[in-house]
Amino acid sequence: MRKMFKKAAVTVLAASMAFGMMAVPAMAEDEGKGFSVCIITSTGIDDGSFNQDCYEGIQTFLETHDDCTVTDIKEADYAQLVPTVEKSVGDFDVFVLPGFNFAGIGDIVKNNPDKYFIVVDSTIQDSEGNPVAADNVYTMTFKEEESGFFAGVAAALSTTSGQVSVVNGMAFPSNVNYEFGFMSGVNYANAKYGTSAETVELPSYAGTDLAGNDVGGNYVGDFGDEAGGKVVGEALIDKGCDVIFVAAGASGNGVFTAAKENEGVYVIGCDVDQYDDGANGDSNIILTSGLKVMHSNVTRQLEAIYDGTFTGEDALLGADTDSTGYVADEGRQQLSEDTLVKLSECYRSLKAGEIIPASSTNGYTPDDFPGLE
C-alpha cells in the first residue's frame, strides 16, 4: 500500500428531477452543485494498483471540490458487484466502477438517467446482452497491450537468465491484452535488439478467456489471492525467471513477496508506479512499471460532471492520449540507459502506428504483429 487515504464522509443529495431515458442528468444543468461519489471494488481501494489508481483520481477531484464526497464499497463476491450497484443507486449521484465485472449494469444505467456512471475497463450491456450507450455513462477501456509491450521489451533487455514471464489475475480482456502485449514486446526485443529471452508459461496456470479459449500465460484465477500469487511466482522463479511482469491486482502482492525472498529476481509493476511497493531492505525489486493511466481520466470525467460538460462515450485510450506507458523517471526504475533509449524508440514507433502489439481483439498474435518484421 503506497499511502494512507483520507475518506470523506458521505452526504446524500436531495431528489433530482426526472428526465427521459437519454437525457443529460440534472447535475449537468446546475453548475457547481456538489454531488456524492461511490466507488465499488472487489478487492478494495488499497490494492496498490488498479483500484487504488481509480480512487486517487477521485481524491484529486475532491481536493478542489469540498462540496463533493466519496464512499468506497468493497464487495468480494464478483457475482454481487452488479447487484451492489443496483442496491446503492438511490444513495449516490455518481458511480466509479473499476473492473470488467461491471459490464452488466446496462439496465441500471438505462433505468437511472439521473445518475452518472464511470466504468473502467469495460463497455456495458443490458440483461439481454445488448450493448448500451447512454448520455449518463462514460466507459473507458485501454490498450493494455501497449503497456504490456513496453514491459516485455524491458524484461527481454534486462534479464540475465533469459527467462521472463507475466502473471495475471483472471483472463478478462484487459489481462489478456497485458499478456499478449508482453509476449509481443519480448519477441520484438529478440528480433530487433538481439536478445534471446524466452517467455515462460506454466500449463497448470494457463488462462481461459471469456469465450472459452485457452490463452496460455500464468493466471492466479483471482485478483485478491495473495497466497495464490506467491505460489505462481515461486513456480516461475523455480523455472529460472528473473524478471516477472505482474498484472494481478492484490494477487500480485504475493508475487512481489516471492521475488523479495529470492535474490536477483525483479518485478515489473502494473497500472501504476509500484516502486514503493518493491522496497526490500536496502534494495528494490521493481525494474519499472507498465502504466495504465486511469486516475487522470477519472478526474477528468468528474470535472465534466461538475461543470456540466459531461458526454457519454465508449472511449478506447492509449499512448496517443498519454493513457498507457512505462515509468522512466530517475529513482523510480532500475533500467539501464541503453534500455531507456530503446524503450523511447519503441514509444515513438508505437504512437506513430508503426508497432501494433497483439491484443485480445485486434487479430494479431505475439508472433505476428505490425512492426515485428
What the chain holds in terms of domains, given with CATH numbers, is 26-142+294-319 (3.40.50.2300), 144-292+336-351 (3.40.50.2300)
Rounded to whole angstroms, the Cα distance separating 36 from 43 reads: 21
Q: Round to whole Å and give the CA distance between 176 and 30.
A: 41
The dihedral formed by the CA atoms of 105, 111, 115 and 118, expressed in degrees to the nearest 10: 20
pTM confidence score? 0.84
How far, in Å, CA of 184 to CA of 355, rounded? 10
Say which DSSP state 64 is in: T
* Secondary structure class of 205 (helix, strand, coil): helix
Q: How many alpha carbons lie under 13 Å from residue 358 in its C-beta half-sphere?
A: 20
The neighbour count for residue 26, using CB atoms within 10 Å, is 19
Give how far the C-alpha of residue 297 lies from the chain's centroid of Cα atoms, to the nearest Å.
12
Amino acid (1-letter code) at residue 177: N
Q: Which residues face 120 on adjacent strands? A: 98, 140
At 313, list the grid cell.
462515450
Spatial CA neighbour of 233 closest among 222, 245, 223, 221: 245
pLDDT in tens, the chain (373 residues): 343 333 333 332 233 333 333 344 545 444 447 999 999 999 999 988 889 999 999 999 999 999 999 999 999 999 999 999 999 999 999 999 999 999 999 999 999 999 999 999 999 999 999 999 999 999 999 999 999 999 999 999 999 999 999 999 999 999 999 999 999 999 999 999 999 999 999 999 999 999 999 999 999 999 999 999 999 999 999 999 999 999 999 999 999 999 999 999 999 999 999 999 999 999 999 999 999 999 999 999 999 999 999 999 999 999 988 899 999 999 999 999 999 999 999 999 999 999 999 999 999 999 999 999 8
3-state SS, one letter per residue, for 280-343: ECCEECEEEEEEECCHHHHHHHHHHHHHCCCCCEEEEECHHHCCEEECCCCCCCCCCHHHHHHH
Convert 125-160 to b/e letters by CB count within 10 Å (16 or more is b): ebeeeeebebbbbbbbbbbbbbbbbbbbbbbbbbbe
CA 73 to CA 61: how far, in whole Å?
A: 19
Is residue 144 within 8 Å of residue 154, measured between CB atoms? no
For the chain, give the longest Cα–Cα distance: 64
Hey, what's the cell of 104? 452488466
